[in-house]
Amino acid sequence: MPRAGLSATHIVTEAAGIADTDGIEAVSLARLAGQLGVRVPSLYKHIDGLADLRTRLAVTGVRGLTEAVAAATVGRAGRDALLACCRAYRDYAHRHPGRYAAIQRPPDPHSPADQEYREHTDALLALVLTVLRGYDLDGDDAVHAARVLRSTLHGFVALEQLGGFGLPADLETSFDRAVDTIDAGLHAPRGKDTP
């Protein structure tokens, strides 16, 4: 009875592959065990059930997203940084749809990976705040701006993945308009209507 040499990271990586190719719904312990050449209960030696696996998937998703955005925005500032951030964000969601979808479900507080998840989401928020440096925002204004940016990015790719944009108008143009809109909004005077 030889050993398969599994590990938690190995399992999560395989799960991420399934999610990216066949969708997040296709990630099951049964299929995972089958692909890893192992029986289902063996997975429990490394992960704490399905909920834990999903939380770990979310961790890899938000970590990969953070790394992609960080790599794209290093050394840039202002509008240049904003554009690079937005493109990297959407590009990651396109290349890893399953991992991105995994971060769209609330984490399980019982999972051992839950705290790690929260740390990584905080890191992503901090990174976005860094990207917004150069628009001379301070304190709560920066937080509000980061929320608006993240909302638009998340909403765009989420609707894209849902096929919610039925009309034939070009998606790239739509995305550029979204980024332009955010950029314009960041320059506009805050807390008042547009003049």
Chain contacts with its own copies (rule: CB under 8 A): 79, 104-106, 118, 121-122, 125, 140, 143-145, 147-148, 150-156, 158-159, 162-167, 169-170, 173-174, 177-178, 180-188, 190, 193-194
Which of 73, 83, 180 shows the shortest CA–CA distance to 127? 73
**Span near DNA by CB under 7 A; candidates 32-40, 93-101, 143-151, 152-160:** 32-40
Nearer to its own copies, 44 or 165 (CB): 165
Minimum separation from the CB atom of position 33 to its own copies (A) = 23
Minimum separation from the CB atom of position 83 to DNA (A) = 40
Considering only residues 12-31, where is the footprint of DNA by CB under 7 A?
28-31
String of DSSP letters for 60-112 = HHHHHHHHHHHHHHTT--HHHHHHHHHHHHHHHHHH-HHHHHHTTS---TTST
Give the contacts of 8 (CB within 8 A, at least 6 positions apart): 46, 47, 56
